[in-house]
Amino acid sequence: MAEAGKVLIVIGGGAAGFFCAVNAARLHPGLQVRILEKTSKLLSKVKVSGGGRCNVTHNAPAVPDLVKKYPRGQQMLKKSFYHFHTLDTVAWFAERGVTLKAEGDGRMFPVTDSSQTVIDCLLEEATKYRVRIDVNTEVTALHQLTDGRWRLDLRGDKSIEANYVCVCTGGYPQADKFNWLKELGHEIQPPVPSLFTFNMPGNPVTQLMGVSVPQAVVKVAGTKLQESGPLLITHWGMSGPVILRLSAWGARSLHDMDYRFTAIVNWLPDYQEHTLREEWPEIRQGMAGQKIYQKNYFALPQRLWHFLLQQSGVAEDTRWADLPAKEQNRLIRNLVSMEFPVQGKTTFKEEFVTCGGIALSQVDAQTMESRLHKGLFFAGEVMDVDGITGGFNFQHAWTSGWLVANSLG
């Protein structure tokens, strides 16, 4: 237990920062805990997550399954999740009156379907355990003093001192934003965006904006990158869980391609090209007299079906029995391996996730303490850890924040 009168400064008022602060204040009653947030907003990602419902965690109770959802950080998480993982998160919030529910895809939300429930819970804990919160307070430098304590320089020529510092600033989009941590000797893995959508400017598919399919397989041509899941067509290109997952796994390689590549979409994940060709004569015979535009055998959204037929050169009044071989071959290819040139990405500022950050070799996986400096800790996305979409980044925030709180003193 941390000694009475000691001070913990948490830099960053997001999920990891709050979870670290409120647990530290609860577990160490004599510890003075203070959150410094450089903006005027607290818990901003919590607020917008999951369309305002807050995807708190994921229904993945087995640690080996859970770590597979993180493109970066798996070795560290294998150790840290055994101390605090998804079931612990569910129990922690339940003890404070916030019940979580699992949806069909495994994502977990408060039963209220409102992120404000989670925000209110964390703010109430902060009030209950007298956590001081300072907004519009930016840390510009950290210095370890000869007695082991820390001096934090703040914007506006002020400084404060603390026994412990936990950095929970989230990911930075530019490498130079890490300079104040680099000056302490920490190695930084260069940051690049990790969750983003695919831009397809001028592609006719964008006219289908709003159309979604519950399951599609998307590959990046020339790589081993492939994911499956719901796909959403937008006015700028493609989004949805399958695209966001692909962007997370491909964060570095897609950055190296300057976000210019070909996405190959299989709209019928139950088929490969050869299996669809094998079954095609039977499908065609069964639908023979019906007009192909009106009879959508594959139960795809009607607008998408018409688009695929148009892109395959199929005339509107064509019956299934009369489909010419050339157009049939094109349609089969478009159904299971349609190519879309991608030229750029879109990231959502409020939900921005990066890969990169503090090198994990310099952080103790059991305590989140810096291996270079005693009393300096990290939690959340400031480290080179990131998960795919679905509550995994929040789970890492809760786990790392909890580990810091438990290891003080």
Over residues 243-273, the pLDDT tens digits come to 999 999 999 999 999 999 999 999 999 999 9
364 and 342 in a common domain = no
Cα separation of 31 and 5, whole Å? 6
* Residues ≥6 apart with Cβ < 8 Å to 18: 35, 42, 43, 122, 125, 126, 401
Q: b/e for 338-362, b at 16 or more Cβ within 10 A?
A: bebebeebebeeeebbbbbbbebeb
378 and 339 in a common domain = no
What is residue 2's predicted lDDT score, i.e. its pLDDT? Answer: 66
Cα separation of 220 and 225, whole Å? 6
Cα separation of 192 and 375, whole Å? 28
Q: Give the domain range for residue 353.
A: 7-193+349-407
Residue 1 lies in a domain: no
Amino acid at 122: L
What is residue 351's predicted lDDT score, i.e. its pLDDT? Answer: 56
51 and 172 in a common domain = yes
In 3D space, the residue among 212, 214, 218, 193 whose CA is nearest the CA of residue 356 turns out to be 193
Domain tally, the chain: 2
Considering only CA atoms, give the Rg of the chain: 25
Among 346, 373, 392, the domain-final residue is 346
Residue 383 tokens read as 């480290």
Cα separation of 154 and 137, whole Å? 7
**Phi, psi angle pair for 363, to nearest 5°:** -130, 135
Cα separation of 312 and 286, whole Å? 21
Residue 119 tokens read as 């925000």
Residue 31 lies in a domain: yes
Total-model pTM: 0.91
What is residue 44's predicted lDDT score, i.e. its pLDDT? Answer: 94
215 and 167 in a common domain = no
353 and 324 in a common domain = no
Cα separation of 41 and 394, whole Å? 18
The answer to whether the beta carbons of residues 409 and 2 sit under 8 Å apart is yes
161 and 16 in a common domain = yes
Q: Read off the DSSP letter of residue 171.
A: -
Among 322, 346, 370, the domain-final residue is 346
140 and 68 in a common domain = yes
Q: Collect the ranges in the chain with pLDDT lower than 50.
A: none
Q: Is 265 helix (H, G, I), strand (E, B) or coil?
A: strand
Residue 2 lies in a domain: no
In 3D space, the residue among 216, 298, 309 whose CA is nearest the CA of residue 263 turns out to be 216
388 and 366 in a common domain = yes
60 and 189 in a common domain = yes
Among 326, 346, 366, the domain-final residue is 346
179 and 62 in a common domain = yes
Cα separation of 56 and 180, whole Å? 30
123 and 22 in a common domain = yes
132 and 77 in a common domain = yes
